[in-house]
Amino acid sequence: MSFSVDIVGAGPAGLTAAEILAQGGAAVRVIDHMPSPARKFLMAGRGGLNLTHSDPLDRFLDRYGEARGFLEPAIRAFPPEALIAWCNGLGIETFIGSSGRVFPKTMKASPLLRAWLRRLDGLGVKLALKTEWMGESQADAMILAMGGASWPRLGSDAGWATLLRRRGIEVKEFIPANCGVTIGWSDFLKERFAGEPLKRIAVTSGGRTVRGEAVVTRRGLEGGAVYALGPQLRETSELTLDLRPDLTVAQLEARLERPKGKASQSNFLRKAAGLSPVAIALLREAGAPVTAVGIKSVKLATTGADSLARAISSAGGVALTEVDRSFELKAWPGVYAVGEMLDWEAPTGGYLLQACFSTAVAAAKACLGRFSAAPDRPQSLPR
Ligand SMILES: Cc1cc2nc3c(=O)[nH]c(=O)nc-3n(C[C@H](O)[C@H](O)[C@H](O)COP(=O)(O)OP(=O)(O)OC[C@H]3O[C@@H](n4cnc5c(N)ncnc54)[C@H](O)[C@@H]3O)c2cc1C
């Protein structure tokens, strides 16, 4: 039989669902209120589109924390290898970076998006841009893929939350995830060191330590190691930096015992301890003693998290208890919610996009199943 599906949101989750449903024979329309599709996906490609990660699957799944159990079936059914194969199938080769992250060789999202939109056009998918979803649809089924609440100017403004709450669907409050922390730096640090990276450090908060990089900004600190501690940093304002995590206290002490000669303290610390100028400035800013222990435990106090407008992603969204295993809303049969609009979170590293693709694949397949199987099931959307 022929059936129609409205997909709301032309981001990666919505376009994935569109592809599968159109291939399955549905008449698909993708609605988006922005003038062009996938603006956040294109923005993600600015700094190198990190599509997914090459972690062993078990470790990969652990990155979703409390949401692991909820996302696991969808990710196992459409795992990173499947996403990479899909990308390659669009003529975009990928590579694994030194950190294990997977990128398209072109780095940008635009060549991938262009090839994808061509494929969707060939499948007869209709794009209705500058079209705001008002909470209804005349189609036989709907896939909601309206994203989270970060970077609202790219289209994902979470305005839909009111429409779903009105139907009695629980939508958890949005909070910034994968965002920097604010710290009351001195003017000296802001003026001299904003933009400087702290490489190969370890950051500890709430009893959890993450190795990686951070960047000093005028507002505080950002970068992968800080983002990964998002859930901990929401609970505590304490942040400790180990500026030389690859050296033990004893190894660092031995280096600091070398004769200083006529070198200034900064030069000595740079040469003996291998500290960069920004690391030395942080040590002083925090009032940490210039000892091995001091260098390995620089204590900073955060004053908060960066705003949603600057966060890479958001936590919050449609409560996971509101959807079934195929992401169909329990309170609204025939309507599925996928991608970042669901209440899960993950660190940067490709885990965000992977879950968006995998949840969309699962929902689109379930939606197809709805129209091909069980003739006694209600097939059109209850209005
Ligand atoms: C700067 C930046 C860099 C990033 N880098 C990476 C990365 O390298 N790797 C990674 O995994 N993730 C990255 N992300 C996160 C990733 O881009 C998102 O998780 C992903 O785009 C979410 O996909 P989605 O399809 O669920 O929603 P979105 O991409 O947010 O798409 C939702 C769409 O719905 C539309 N919409 C919303 N409300 C309505 C409405 N009421 N009516 C009609 N249309 C509506 C929006 O206009 C939007 O087009 C990055 C994000 C940012 C901001």
**Which pLDDT tens digit goes with each residue over 271-306?**
999 999 999 999 999 999 999 999 999 999 999 988
In this structure, which residue's CA is closest to atom 39 in ligand 1?
146
* Residue 233 backbone phi and psi in degrees, to 5: -70, -15
**Model pLDDT, residue 382:** 58
Find the 156 Cα to ligand 1 centroid distance in Å: 6
Q: Which of 33, 42, 146, 164 to mutate to test the pocket of ligand 1 (most atoms within 8 A of CB)?
A: 146
Q: pLDDT under 70 in the chain at which residues?
A: 1, 373-383
Q: Which has the closest alpha carbon to 87: 121, 50, 60, 58? A: 50
**Model pLDDT, residue 260:** 86
**Which pLDDT tens digit goes with each residue over 16-57?**
999 999 999 999 999 999 999 999 999 999 989 999 999 999
Find the 230 Cα to ligand 1 centroid distance in Å: 19
